[in-house]
Amino acid sequence: MKTPKLEKKPEIKSCHDKKWQDNYSWIHQKNILEVLRDSSKLLPEVKKYLEEENAFTEYNLKDTKELQKKLFKEIKGRIKLDDESLPFKDYDYEYWIKTTTKGNYTIKLRKKIGSNKIEEIWNGDKEKEKLNTEYFGVGDLEVSWNDKYLGYSLDLKGSEYYTIYVRDIESGKLVTEKIEETSGGITFSLDNKFIFYSKLDEHHRPRKIFRHKIGSSVKEDVLIFEEKSEAFTVGIGLSSDEKYYFIVSSDHNTSEQYYFSVNEESPKPKLIKKRKKGILYSVSSWNGCFYNHTNEDAEDFKIEKCEDLSNQEWKTYIAAKDEVLIGGLVFLNNWIIRSETSNALGKIFAKNLKTNVEEEIIFADEKVIVPGISLIQRERSTDQLYLSYSSPKTQSRTYLYNLKNKEKKLVKEQEIPSGHNSEDYIVERLECKSHDGRLVPITITRHKKTKIDGSANLLLYGYGSYGSSMSPSFSSTRLSLINRDIIWVTAHIRGGLERGMKWWKEGKLLNKKNTFEDYIAVAKFLIEKKYTSEKKIIGMGGSAGGLLMGGVANQAPELFLGIIMAVPFVDSLTTNLDHSLPLTVGEFDEFGNAKENKEHFEYILSYAPYNNIKKMDYPHIFITTSLSDNRVLFDEPAKFTAKLREHKTDNNLLLLKTEMNAGHGGKSGRDGAIEEIAIDYAFALKICKKN
């Protein structure tokens, strides 16, 4: 089959006295945000190119069709399709979520406390069918305080423009006008008369909070708060004690918070603390006190406490610790529960408010785990909560834990219908030195039969941006590779928060290349320790992890057999220079501002994957993207693929697959998500020549 070719239309670009040629910039349309909402506005020649690439991918993966079906069946076979979540007790009702064997979307159920009559208040599959849409993204599902109304938000394109609806649960009828172009979040007022929501501006940024009176026209909605900075986005939520609404305005690096009482008839948000560059803070209220989770004078966060926001005499409640990330607080009447993370591992602590004694809660035997906390009820007069954990080899287990007597009762275990024995797998936590001597944590999961003699293929997963930590949790899908002798390794590289804020700072802005260096150091370490060999590693990452994949493909292609890139941020310089795009301005503190700062420009130019493609051999590469993705525009991977085809000197596979009806998260629905994993894994197994 003929290899697709994108027409070259050279454009000379310039910035900071430097000029460069971009042959494919023409595919980026000036009305790109309109294209995301309406694909009929896509340039016909670009649509044709994407369809040709899809056909080329289909042709080159046709020999994996049966394998894809087998993988789909395998992965789905490990999911308990007809499953129910644990119930959450509201004041009058218990609420829980259910999935079914045939359905792709969740069902929300409830029953009155003390009754056995179960009501279905939301069924995603029925809603999707009613709307006759291919893509169906649910943003929020919220029930009003009087349990009468269901608020829900939908995105039917994948472009994350959510429309809010409010319906009467009993009659099923809509009770107010739909509210369009929102960020999706819904907050009901305690008197059940209003909802608060954030509206998207022309650049797809939520910078305004409105109050909407249920039953009234959207034209009458009252603007409660407006953020003037284009770099900041806003959200609203209720305090833990249900006495205040808090509005948070932030970018990735700096935050500012406002509050107003739930009883205010005409809300006038009051500032808590003026924003300071690089300072994050989050205030909540409980039992007549305010608690502030902040990194001010505490790189890895601390928690302060005060009794009055008018004078703000903050006193240290939980002190900072070096390279130990202090998490937020969960409040019960007699207990305060909190979390800590160090060396990519989490811990949970509980403080008895009567004795003032704090202890770590240890409820699992394994060392490499991901612990979690959730409340069992809205009323906080309880000594019980749900504690859960999973590990790379052990499926999720949830216990009803009594904080008073430390008794635990297993109430839910993730069921693997096709069977799973955790003793068949080995989990290791190692560290390796990066180029500058920093130790990078590595989580390795392998089958006990896999030999450590350099013969095994290995999938190396990485992300390394925005302070997002890659937690070593259980994934039943990965077993399809691990059971076929492919070792799964997560590299906890800089740019995440696995070792505190310093770990993030050392992987962003003018330190971004540490992310790539860490990942390459991990790959070399795994080869040296005989977990794998050169040309046996498959790199995998999505979004900003796709930036990582593009960077390492250019820098160290000889290490890799293949690379899988999902919605990859590979044309990072072009995007950084375009301040009209949804995310660019808000990410100046993550990647820099190339337009205004020459040093940032030169640094981004030196690693941006699209700008650093060379004439050389590359590994097998499989790239996926989505036409309606507003976070990483489809034209980034499309340009990257076209330029790579032009330069690479090998005969390895280079495949681009564009979902024509999806967004940043790919296809909607359970089966859609499994199909995408199956094709990624089929590509990996094809190049490893396994099935």
pLDDT tens-digit readout, 45-88:
999 999 999 999 999 999 999 999 999 999 999 999 999 999 99
Mean pLDDT of 118-140: 96
> Within this chain, do residues 461 and 482 fall inside the same structural domain, yes or no?
yes
Question: What pLDDT is stored for residue 129 in this prediction?
Answer: 95
> Within this chain, do residues 359 and 504 fall inside the same structural domain, yes or no?
no
Mean pLDDT of 428-439: 97
| Cα end-to-end distance, the chain, whole Å | 24
Task: Give 666: exposed, middle or buried? Use CB within 10 Å, 0-12, 13-18, 19+.
Answer: buried
- 665 pLDDT tier (thresholds 50, 70, 90): confident
- Report the chain's mean pLDDT, rounded to a whole number: 96
Distance in angstroms (rounded) separating the CA atoms of residues 112 and 61: 52
Distance in angstroms (rounded) separating the CA atoms of residues 592 and 576: 8
Question: What pLDDT is stored for residue 691 in this prediction?
Answer: 60
- 366 pLDDT tier (thresholds 50, 70, 90): confident
Q: Name beta bridge partners: 261.
A: 244
Per the domain annotation, does 637 fall within a domain? yes
Distance in angstroms (rounded) separating the CA atoms of residues 347 and 367: 11
CATH for 620: 3.40.50.1820
Question: What pLDDT is stored for residue 364 in this prediction?
Answer: 83
Per the domain annotation, does 190 fall within a domain? no
Q: Which of 414, 448, 468 is the last residue of a domain?
A: 414
Question: What pLDDT is stored for residue 325 in this prediction?
Answer: 94
Distance in angstroms (rounded) separating the CA atoms of residues 105 and 125: 6
> Within this chain, do residues 492 and 544 fall inside the same structural domain, yes or no?
yes
Per the domain annotation, does 642 fall within a domain? yes
Q: Which of 414, 436, 457 is the last residue of a domain?
A: 414
> Within this chain, do residues 406 and 479 fall inside the same structural domain, yes or no?
no
Contact between 591 and 621 under an 8 Å Cβ cutoff? The reply is no
Contact between 425 and 409 under an 8 Å Cβ cutoff? The reply is no
> Within this chain, do residues 330 and 381 fall inside the same structural domain, yes or no?
yes
> Within this chain, do residues 673 and 642 fall inside the same structural domain, yes or no?
yes
Rounded to 5°, angle at Cα 145 from 142 and 146: 120
Q: How many domains does the chain contain in total?
A: 2
Tokens representing 151 are 């608020």
> Within this chain, do residues 451 and 481 fall inside the same structural domain, yes or no?
yes
Per the domain annotation, does 185 fall within a domain? no
CA-atom Rg of the chain in angstroms: 25
> Within this chain, do residues 410 and 427 fall inside the same structural domain, yes or no?
no
> Within this chain, do residues 446 and 425 fall inside the same structural domain, yes or no?
yes
Q: Which of 379, 414, 449 is the last residue of a domain?
A: 414
Mean pLDDT of 102-125: 96
Per the domain annotation, does 680 fall within a domain? yes
Which residues, other chains included, contact 135 with Cβ-Cβ below 8 Å and sequence gap of 6+? 155, 156, 157, 158, 628, 661, 662, 663, 667, 668
Contact between 256 and 226 under an 8 Å Cβ cutoff? The reply is no
Structural domain that includes position 614: 16-43+420-688
pLDDT in tens, 533-572: 999 999 999 999 999 999 999 999 999 999 999 999 999 9
Distance in angstroms (rounded) separating the CA atoms of residues 651 and 682: 19
> Within this chain, do residues 382 and 501 fall inside the same structural domain, yes or no?
no
